[in-house]
Every structure is written in C-alpha cells, then in structure tokens.
C-alpha cells in the first residue's frame, strides 16, 4: 500500500501536468509559427504572454514535487506512482488538446523525464556534501531535460523529416516576402541600389550560415571519409560553393538578380511560387536547404527547450524543492 504522501504528491503532479498542457495549448505556439519570418513579433509576443510565463513558473513544480517525493520515501513504488500520474495526465491532455497531439513523441519523452529525474535525484542527493537539495534537484532536472532533447531529435526524424519539403517551402515563401517583397518598391526604384545591396547581403549571409551548419554536421564530416567518386565530387562542390558565396562577383550577381526579379514581378505579376522557382535557379544552396530543413527546424526546437530548462526550469525547480521540503518535513510525511 503506497504512503499517503506519495498519493498526495502524485495527485498534485497529475493536476499540474494537465494545467501545463492547458497553458501550452493556450499560447498557440507551433513549429509553423517558429518558422514564420513575417510574424516574428507575434511569435515573440506569445513567448511573453501570461500563459507562457505561467507555464514557465508551474512546470518546475512538477519536477520539484517528484524529487521531494522520492527524497521523502526513497521507494521505487513512489517513482512508479508519480510517473503514472504524469503519464495519465499527459495522455488526457493529448486527447483533449488536439493541437498538442502533433507533438506526441515529445510528450512520450516528457513522461519519461519524471522517473529519470526521480531516480537520478535519489543517487545524486547521497553523493553531494554542500547545498545538497538545491544542487541535486538542479542536476536531476537537467538529466530529465537531456531525455526531452533526445525526444525532440526523434520527433524531427519521425515527424518533420517527411514534411521537410513543405516546411522549407513555407519558410522560403516567408523569406522572399520579408526580404524582397517588403522592399520591392524601394529596390526597383531608381537611386536605391543600396537597398538591393542590403537585401543581397542578408540573403548571402543566410546562405553562408546554412552552408556552414551543413558542413559542420557530423553526417557531412563522415562523407569526407568516403571514397565514392560522386561523394568526393559532392564534398568538393560544397567547398567551392562556400567560396562562391563569399566572392564579390556572386554578390553583384545577387544584386542584379534581385533588381531584375523584383522589376519582372511588378511588371508581369509573378506570384510567390514563380519567384521562388527563380530564386532556386539562381541560388542552388536553397535546394540543399530544403533537403536538411527538418534538421534545422529540430535544432531550433532543441535550442529553445535547452535554453528554457537551463535558465529557468532547472534553477526554479531547485528553489521550489527547498520550499516544498520545508512544507513537508519528515515527521509530517511519516504521520
């Protein structure tokens, strides 16, 4: 028979997990919005919304309660009950909030972060000598976060990879509209070559950053070890492409093409799809970007989650654990 304190902690974890799911759903944040360059202000506003702030304040409580529950009982049964409470709440949330069901893989890994954090806290709390509870809870939450980041990578490979074409085209449309479309009248006007040059610099810089990300990827590094002629030619062409992107000649070509395409679009009424096709013809790196866009999107998601856990959730969860530990002393738990 589980202890009453375990049931209490599990019940609170269940309620808080549902509440966090409600708040996350209320923010309306999605992968598509993270890639929407035209509405960056609206996306940033959601990160500053009351719902998201409350989400950041409440999520650490789940981990703090889980760690304290384990500290009080030191029982495998406690891990099982608290994890089950979090799992049931997460499943209910996926059923109720249909928008969150898209991220079911990440939700599965979130469920697993609770027992991982609890088990690791039981180990680390016995090893530390100073600031035991604070440091132990902080480390335990970080361990759980690593599992969640792994879940994001699996999510990218399973869910985003099949959609990489769709996501990349959506991003490219937004890029064209934000960089070229918003400045089309100015770029095509006389005496505004400086604006076209600025737009060209932005486009080239984005292409170089993406190419460097691709080259530094471990998968690309392994290609350098291959002896297949086609692979060797691909690696060599990638190095040459980087040199081309950094050359003054290429910059001038981009400036000329931007001015020409913008004027053509205004005179002939080209739509975004036609402009995108022209851009792909002129800038081959955009095709390479489409092939790896799922990985770029996944890295953006991982970076955001890692930052949130490192700066907010882990330290705040550790602080909460100190408060909860005082509210539930050993004698009260035993009674």
- Rounded to 10 degrees, the C-alpha dihedral 154/159/160/162 comes to 120
Q: How far is residue 308's CA from residue 121's CA, in Å, rounded to a whole number?
A: 20
Q: How far is residue 308's CA from residue 53's CA, in Å, rounded to a whole number?
A: 11
- Give residue 24's pLDDT: 93
H helices within 49-163, ranges in order? 50-73, 76-96, 104-127, 132-155
Query: pLDDT tens digit string along 75-86?
Result: 889 999 999 999
Closest CA to 305 of 29, 14, 7: 29
Query: pLDDT tens digit string along 217-255?
Result: 665 666 677 777 766 776 677 777 777 777 777 777 777
Q: How far is residue 46's CA from residue 28's CA, in Å, rounded to a whole number?
A: 8
Cα 189–251–269 angle (5° rounding)?
40
pTM metric for this prediction: 0.68
- Give residue 284's pLDDT: 58
Closest CA to 66 of 80, 47, 46: 80
Q: 25-32 — which CB contacts under 8 Å span 24+ positions?
A: 25/93, 25/97, 25/99, 25/100, 26/51, 27/51, 27/52, 27/55, 28/99, 30/99, 30/102, 31/160, 31/167, 31/297, 31/301, 32/167, 32/170
- Give residue 183's pLDDT: 46
- Phi and psi at residue 129, to the nearest 5°: -115, -35
Q: Give, in order, the Cα–Cα distances in Å from 311 to each of 43, 48, 86, 305, 307.
A: 20, 15, 23, 10, 6
- Give residue 231's pLDDT: 66
In this prediction, the residues of the chain whose per-residue pLDDT falls under 50 are 181-195, 264-270, 331-335
- DSSP type of residue 38: G
Query: pLDDT tens digit string along 141-166?
Result: 999 999 999 999 999 889 888 887 77
């Amino acid at each position: 028979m589980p202890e009453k304190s375990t049931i209490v902690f599990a019940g609170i974890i269940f309620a808080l997990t549902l509440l966090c799911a409600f708040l996350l759903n209320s923010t309306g944040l999605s992968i598509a919005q993270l890639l929407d360059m035209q509405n960056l202000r609206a996306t940033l506003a959601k990160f500053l919304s009351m719902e998201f702030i409350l989400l950041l304040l409440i999520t650490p409580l789940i981990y703090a309660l889980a760690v304290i529950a384990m500290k009080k009982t030191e029982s495998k049964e406690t891990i099982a009950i608290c994890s089950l409470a979090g799992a049931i709440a997460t499943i209910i949330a996926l059923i109720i909030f249909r928008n969150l069901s898209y991220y079911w893989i990440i939700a599965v890994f979130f469920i697993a972060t609770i027992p991982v954090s609890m088990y690791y806290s039981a180990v680390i709390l016995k090893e530390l000598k100073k600031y035991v509870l604070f440091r132990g809870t902080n480390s335990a939450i970080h361990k759980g976060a690593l599992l969640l980041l792994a879940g994001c990578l699996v999510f990218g490979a399973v869910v985003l990879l099949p959609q990489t074409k769709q996501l990349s085209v959506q991003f490219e449309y937004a890029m064209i509209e934000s960089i070229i479309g918003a400045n089309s009248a100015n770029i095509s006007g006389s005496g505004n070559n400086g604006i076209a040059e600025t737009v060209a610099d932005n486009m080239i810089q984005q292409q170089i950053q993406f190419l460097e990300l691709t080259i530094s990827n471990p998968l690309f590094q392994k290609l350098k070890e291959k002896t297949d002629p086609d692979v060797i030619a691909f690696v060599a062409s990638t190095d040459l492409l980087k040199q081309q992107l950094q050359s003054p000649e290429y910059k001038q070509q981009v400036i000329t093409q931007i001015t020409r395409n913008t004027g053509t679009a205004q005179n002939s009424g080209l739509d975004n799809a036609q402009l995108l096709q022209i851009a792909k013809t002129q800038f081959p790196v955009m095709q390479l970007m489409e092939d790896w866009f799922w990985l770029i999107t996944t890295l953006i998601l991982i970076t955001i989650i890692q930052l949130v856990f490192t700066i907010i959730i882990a330290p705040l969860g550790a602080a909460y654990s100190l408060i909860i530990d005082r509210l539930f002393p050993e004698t009260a738990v035993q009674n």
